[in-house]
Amino acid sequence: MTLERFFHEHPKAALAFSGGADSAYLLWAGLQAGAEVWPYFVKTPFQPRSELEDAYQLCDRLDADLIVLDRDILADETVTANPPDRCYHCKRWMFSKLKRYAASEGFSLLLDGTNASDDGGDRPGMRALAELEVRSPLRECGLTKDRIRALSKEAGLPTWDKPSYACLATRIPTGRAIVREDLEKVERGEAALSALGFRDFRLRLTAGGAKLQVLEEQFPLALERKRDILSALEADLSEITLDLRPRIPID
């Protein structure tokens, strides 16, 4: 199965769109195949403003109209309790609302950007997608993350080397209730760290503050900009530590 064949067989679909490498390439491929693919971004406190801005920019580039659904996931007590399978409850909440809205606009098929590198056995969110009958063409067509990046580069998409992004809720330890204030702290902190030159990092909350995880090649930057990091984060965080184990980009 190729993406071109998939879209010829399914010429009309709604797409859960994040603005990341996977959903960006899937949107491009659908439009290239002549399909009617509408991108939907579900805006919640779990997504930083920068991700929505990226989604808008990519859709403008592809001449696609981005539809933004503003929803308050913090109203769901199961999700905010932050259990070990939070991702399952979060995905089911978000995609249920997205599927219902897309159906009201005439879309019976909902797609997402899960790729063939994603391990279904270790991702509770993928169980929610299966239950809701969300299709994942990249995965179905055997396209891995590395292949998608290569094809995106060939297509001239600016997302070809964009780091994978996990929602802000992943920065909060399992079992610790998710509150808006903590999400905003992480968003402010990560925006400041990005401005200092950090890439593909995580700022994870701890009991006393936060732990910064960076790629091995960015340890020198962390030491060089130590004072700037403290200045950027200390208003929100009483304790800031650097994880001496290099970050492995898996989420």
For 145-187, how does the pLDDT look when each residue is reduced to its tens digit (9 = 90+)?
999 999 999 999 999 999 988 899 999 999 999 999 999 999 9
Q: Are residues 41 and 153 in the same domain?
A: yes
Same domain assignment for residues 76 and 184: no
End of a domain among 129, 161, 193?
Answer: 161
Q: Is 103 among the domain residues? A: yes
Counted domains in the chain: 2
Helices marked H in 36-179 — which ranges?
49-61, 77-80, 86-104, 124-131, 137-140, 145-154
Residues 114 and 150 in one domain: yes
Same domain, yes or no: 110 and 234: no
Same domain, 118 and 203: no
Tell me: pLDDT of 80 over 90.
Answer: yes
Are 185 and 85 within one domain? no
Q: Identify whether residues 152 and 87 lie together within a single domain.
A: yes
Domain that holds residue 231: 179-242
* Domain annotation covers residue 142: yes
- Would residue 169 count as lying in a domain? no
CA distances from 56 to 63, 93, 128, 191 (A): 10, 23, 26, 18
pLDDT band at residue 126 under the 50/70/90 scheme: confident
Question: What pLDDT does 248 receive?
Answer: 85
Residue 249 binned pLDDT confidence (cut-offs 50, 70, 90): confident
Q: For residue range 7-39, what is the model confidence (pLDDT) as tens digits?
A: 999 999 999 999 999 999 999 999 999 999 999
